[in-house]
């Protein structure tokens, strides 16, 4: 496993870390025992950062993260998010006061049974005015309930607003071979401002694993929209792009691992946080840190993706 400094926090975090949305059940059912085994497998592979959110399974993911890491709390960094609780159930909170954010923080601490959250992130990517969240986060730092904070967004304007006092520690952003927009402005800005980056969607919600076909049917609530309409059109287009990059797969390297290595080739990236629902997925993801794409492969990918 490779480790990189998470911006101004100074923390050394594993370049392949674990996104814990999948174990919350919204990508399909995951048994509690398997979720805990998956997190323990990540630890065995050197993973030391785990990213979750209060919205993932309406708290289920946080509960499992806390249970699995209870005996290893001092060895890991726990990141969670606030701002989307209840949204997928049609009962989103309004967050009109810092007290709402602080109450959600207390709830997350209670679910995970920990004393402090290492990285607390605003989960509203198009946030117009960060004042309520920043006021709450600063108070939570003073109270010792969180150590650092950031925002999950692909908007440079939102990121800049969140860093108005220079204390934003990390940005979580969507970036992959199939979604390269952040490399234009957001990632360079993060690097210039010593802000760590957590890359979500590095395997494009599973598409970059290269295992889906036009006949694949999605039952989970996250990807169900890929089955018809414009969602299906976009999905089929992505499958066409996958066919152009299958040369990356080798007996010793899966396409998903190559996709992760492409993300890590950007020096502005601190870590990728692919999801995993079982031990095999987690072990495969972690192994990506042990290799790298060649200069020729990166050049060929740049040429191909320029045509997309």
Can you tell me the distance from the alpha carbon of 264 to that of 131, in angstroms, rounded to the nearest whole number? 32
Q: Evaluate the CA torsion angle 149, 155, 161, 165 in order and state its sign.
A: positive
CA 281 to chain centre: 15
**95 carries an active-site annotation:** no
Distance between CA atoms of 35 and 33, rounded to whole angstroms?
Answer: 5
Catalytic residue among 56, 95, 149, 235: 56
What sign has the CA pseudo-torsion 139, 142, 146, 150? positive
Please list the helix, strand and coil fractions of the chain in percent, rounded to the nearest 5, in that order. Answer: 45, 15, 40
Instruction: Name the DSSP class of 290.
Output: G
Q: What is the rounded CA–CA span in Å between residue 126 and residue 156?
A: 10
Q: Is 192 helix (H, G, I), strand (E, B) or coil?
A: helix
Three-class SS state of 250:
strand
What is the set of active-site residues? 56
């Amino acid at each position: 496993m490779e480790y990189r400094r998470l911006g101004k926090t100074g923390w050394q975090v594993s370049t392949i870390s674990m996104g814990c949305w999948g174990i919350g059940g919204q990508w399909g059912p995951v048994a509690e025992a398997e979720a805990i085994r998956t997190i323990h497998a990540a630890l065995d592979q050197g993973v030391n950062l785990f990213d979750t959110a209060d919205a993932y399974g309406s708290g289920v993911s946080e509960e499992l993260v806390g249970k699995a890491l209870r005996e290893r709390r001092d060895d890991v960094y726990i990141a969670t998010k606030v701002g989307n609780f209840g949204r997928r159930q049609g009962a989103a909170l309004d967050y009109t006061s810092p007290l709402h954010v602080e109450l959600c923080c207390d709830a997350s601490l209670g679910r995970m049974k920990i004393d402090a959250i290492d990285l607390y992130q605003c989960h509203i990517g198009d946030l117009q005015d960060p004042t309520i969240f920043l006021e709450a986060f600063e108070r939570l730092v003073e109270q010792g309930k969180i150590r650092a904070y950031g925002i999950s967004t692909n908007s440079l304007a939102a990121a800049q607003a969140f860093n108005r006092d220079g204390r934003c520690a990390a940005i979580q952003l969507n970036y992959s071979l199939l979604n390269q927009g952040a490399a234009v402005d957001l990632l360079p800005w993060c690097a210039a401002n010593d802000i760590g980056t957590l890359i979500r969607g590095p395997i494009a919600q599973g598409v970059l694993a290269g295992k889906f076909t036009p006949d694949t049917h999605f039952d989970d609530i996250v990807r169900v929209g890929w089955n018809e309409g414009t969602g299906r059109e976009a999905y089929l287009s992505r499958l066409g792009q996958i066919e152009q990059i299958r040369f990356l797969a080798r007996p010793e390297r899966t396409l998903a691992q190559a996709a992760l290595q492409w993300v890590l080739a950007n020096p502005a990236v601190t870590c990728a946080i692919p999801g995993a629902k079982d031990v095999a997925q987690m072990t495969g993801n972690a192994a990506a840190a042990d290799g790298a794409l060649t200069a020729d492969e990166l050049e060929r990918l740049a040429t191909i993706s320029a045509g997309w």
